[in-house]
Structure 1
């Protein structure tokens, strides 16, 4: 303002034009694009992430080391339903002979995969149904999935903000806006997200602490909200012979049922809004 009154306005306009030209230049855009694509974690955040991973890995290997010997050459992580059938056959006798050790190894593996977002937990859920039946398998899957999601929540609280914003910027803005609109009935909305495949569970685990969802709401919504989908998956594990692909688990009818159950969870929010507008 002082420069403008003293006759320096022309120089300021000229300087602003020069800055705008620099910002619009191809070289500037290229540098900006390069900066935006840069790996988001700082050196210390990366060290923290690696440290946590090594601690969990050491714990998992320690659990495996205490388990009775087996023919490990016949055991590999399944990549499809055929692999899962073979794995189930190899593990059935082992689980029967050493139930406590097997359950410890199963739970440790499930939590490890869920914490570090390693794909394949759906095979673990099918395996639980095949080996333990519906009720025991369902309890194991829901508890392990909740424990793993909680670990992922706290890991994201430590280093997740730059990573999630880098990987899913648009989805993160959408999620933040939706959470802001539903603060009063946050548990209902989180239940809806957990029950229905509206957003991937991995994204919910990572993004929840960043948008300030309290842990007790996150935990309760996860514990209860995962039951319907887990039941479907665990129950399918009883009939692995009839299952051709993982995609067969969630056909149109199954998805419709999940959305119906999820809609019931957000019904109080809808009714409250309706009363407010009236």
Structure 2
């Protein structure tokens, strides 16, 4: 999780009522669900394993903590959750970190929105250094888990949701095979492509896991630092959008451009 990225989901006509009609008067049929029964069963099995683990961790907490435990969707929710958990995190640091990490990785694996709030919470409860280490670890673990899940069942989903974006990504990767790490670092540092799409599409376009892993660990640091640091002033933050103003985005693109220099120089030498 990590920096927020906007994701445009192109689902076509999936979900339309079977009786819906086109402007020409012909009935429209909903698009076929992209997963086979085996793929859906595999995804459901992984989901149930994660969910069971989270439930076991949840049941170890005192009953008094249950009422306020919910995924924050707004900054107001996050402030209430932080105030509720601050004492528990200090008294039971190991249990809290286990629950926090499991929730973050679960959300990242199954593409559940809201990890930016988890990153802000880490900064608010643990400070910049510890919070940053915690966020980068969880974001990398969750992205890696999503990578392997996509390797198992991701191709039909990505092809179904983002066919044009996948073709573009595949073409860009093919042009940069020799300096692939630099390009992946650029994508991780900048909001050029959504992190969700990168996690799902990387195994499909044959990006080796070691490159994916290194780019994720290193590339998520700048944006994670910005988010975690903002968590220190959680009470003053008015909107999540304030985290990534024009100045911040310009800095991220500058860092990303520097990372691309080896790739640009390599291509220049080839054409000379």
TM-score by length of 2: 0.88
Alignment partner of 2:151 out of 149, 157, 174:
157
Distance 1:276 1:130 in 2: 49
For residues 87 and 181 of structure 1, what CA distance do their matches in structure 2 show?
Answer: 46
- Give distance in 2, aligned partners of 1:252 and 1:174: 26
C-alpha displacement of 1:52:
0.8
Counterpart pick for 2:176 among 152, 177, 182: 182
- When the two chains are superposed, the root-mean-square deviation of aligned CA atoms in Å is 1.5
Paired with 1:253 and 1:273, the residues of 2 have a C-alpha distance of 30
Q: Work out the CA distance in 2 between the residues paired with 1:75 and 1:109.
A: 11
CA distance in 1: counterparts of 2:57 and 2:222, whole angstroms: 30
Superposition map of 1:227-246 within 5 A: 227-246=221-240
* Alpha-carbon displacement from aligned partner over 1:201-242 (angstroms, at most 9, x marks no partner): 000000000000000000000000000000000000000111
CA deviation string 1:56-77 (max 9, x = no partner) = 1111111222234433213332
Instruction: Tell me the secondary structure at the aligned position of residue 111 of structure 1.
Output: helix
Structure-2 residue corresponding to 1:43:
37
Q: Distance in 1 between matches of 2:52 and 2:59?
A: 10
CA distance, structure 2, for counterparts of residue 223 and residue 236 of structure 1: 20
Once residues 75 and 67 of structure 1 are traced to their aligned partners in structure 2, the CA distance between those partners, rounded to angstroms, is: 10
Which structure is higher in RCO with an 8 Å CA cutoff and minimum separation 6?
Answer: 2
Instruction: Determine which of 237, 244, 257 is the counterpart of 1:263.
Output: 257
Match of 1:23 in 2: none
Could you tell me which runs of 5 or more consecutive residues in structure 1 were left unpaired when the two chains were aligned: 1-25
SS of corresponding position for 2:124: helix
**TM-score with structure 1 length normalisation?**
0.86
Is 2:201 the partner of 1:207?
Answer: yes
Counterpart of 1:15 in structure 2 is: none
Q: Deviations over 1:249-276 (max 9, x none)?
A: 0000000000001111111011111222
Structure with greater proportional helix content? 1
Q: 2:161 maps to what in 1?
A: 167
- For residue 192 of structure 2, what is the aligned residue in structure 1? 198
Q: Within 1, Cα distance between the matches of 2:128 and 2:63? A: 28
Name stretches of at least 5 consecutive residues in structure 2 with no aligned partner: 1-21
Mark the structure with the bigger radius of gyration: 1
Number of aligned residue pairs: give it: 248
Indicate the residue corresponding to 2:68 in structure 1.
74
Structure 1 SS opposite 2:35: coil
SS at match of 1:96: helix
